[in-house]
Each structure stands twice: as C-alpha cells, then as structure tokens.
Amino acid sequence: MHACHEHATCVEEALGAADRICAERELRFTDLRRRVLSLIWENHGSSKAYDIMEKLGGDYSAKPPTVYRTLDFLQENGLVHKINSLNAYVGCSHPLKHKDCFFLICSCCNEVQECCASHVADTLRDMAGKNKFSPRHTTLEIEGECQDCLKKN
C-alpha cells in the first residue's frame, strides 16, 4: 500500500518531527510520549489503546489513564489521529501540514493511508454551506481495499 522501503525511516521522521514540534511549542516530549508514538509507528496500521498499553508493560504496569492521557497529548498536537470507525489510533504522516485530511483504511491488510486533497475539503465546505452549516471538524474514513490487496485476491 505505502511505499516505505525502509520503515525505520518513517519512525525516525515521525519522532524527529515530534521533537521539533514540541520544542517549538515548548512542550515536553517525554520518554513516555516518545515510546507511545514510537509504538504507534511500528507499522502503518492503526493501534488500539489497550494494545499500546500491553506493549508499554507486558504486566500491565501501564494503566489506561496513562495511555489515554498520552494519546490525548499526541492528538492535541496533531501527532496522531483517532480513527473513530475503529476506535484506534494512527500516527499523523505530515504533522506540520495536516489540514482537512481523511483516511483510506484497508480492511484486508489493515493499513491506513492519510490523504489530503484541498478539492475534497472544498467540496465538503461548499456542501456544508449549502446546508447552512458551519463545520468545525470532519471525520472522513473510507473503508475498503488497497491496491496491493486487490491484486493479491
């Protein structure tokens, strides 16, 4: 689906971007936050909160509030997104440029691709306007099958 030849690069870039963003905003990119973001970036699928919790401490030494607070922090700063249709979380693939993005979710390989397209956003804004609605946040999640999986099957 994606084209990351060397996935370690994805992780490093994500962590590097997080470092810079937190520095700029004078936020603390603590060890816990870094570990959670890193776990989320282990692959290009989405991660469930309780799976992250287990990975943080096999013995459940990390408790739910710890995980959810960390996820909240990462979301607030645009470093991860929640996929509402899955109750799961993905790393933002372009945290500084993120705007009006949406998600293509392959239910075969579970990968999630984050996309931006200004004309999609424009279309939605127009549509909202015609309905006299003032949008604040859009959830757009498209479930289906990615090219690789289509080919395989």
Partner DNA sequence: AAACAGTATGTTATACTATAACATTGCCGA
Partner DNA sequence: TCGGCAATGTTATAGTATAACATACTGTTT
Strand partners, 83: 88
Q: How far is the CB of 26 from its own copies (least distance, A)?
A: 29
Rounded Cα–Cα distance for residues 80 and 118 (Å): 20
Q: Which helix (H) or strand (E) holds 101?
A: strand 101-106
User: Which of these segments, 6-14, 22-30, 48-56, 96-104, binds Zn ion (CB under 5 A)?
Assistant: 96-104
120 touches Zn ion (CB under 5 A): no
Nearest to 41 by CA among 81, 73, 1: 81
Q: Which of 92, 102, 103, 105 binds Zn ion (CB under 5 A)?
A: 92
Among positions 73, 95, 101, 112, the unique one binding DNA when judged by CB under 7 A: 73
Beta bridge partners of 114: 103
By CB under 8 A, name the binding residues for its own copies. Answer: 84-85, 104, 106-107, 113, 115, 117, 119-120, 123-124, 127-128, 131-147, 150
Number of residues that bind Zn ion (CB under 5 A): 8
Q: Three-class SS of residue 108?
A: coil
State yes or no: residue 50 binds DNA (CB under 7 A): yes
Residue 57 or 129 having the CB closest to DNA: 57
Number of residues engaging DNA in binding (CB under 7 A): 23
Do 133 and 97 form a contact (C-beta atoms < 8 A)? no
Q: Mapping DSSP to helix (H, G, I), strand (E, B) and coil, where does residue 112 land? A: strand
Contact 98, 80 (CB under 8 A): no
Q: Which residues bind DNA (CB under 7 A)?
A: 27-28, 30-33, 48-50, 61-66, 68-70, 72-73, 82, 87-88
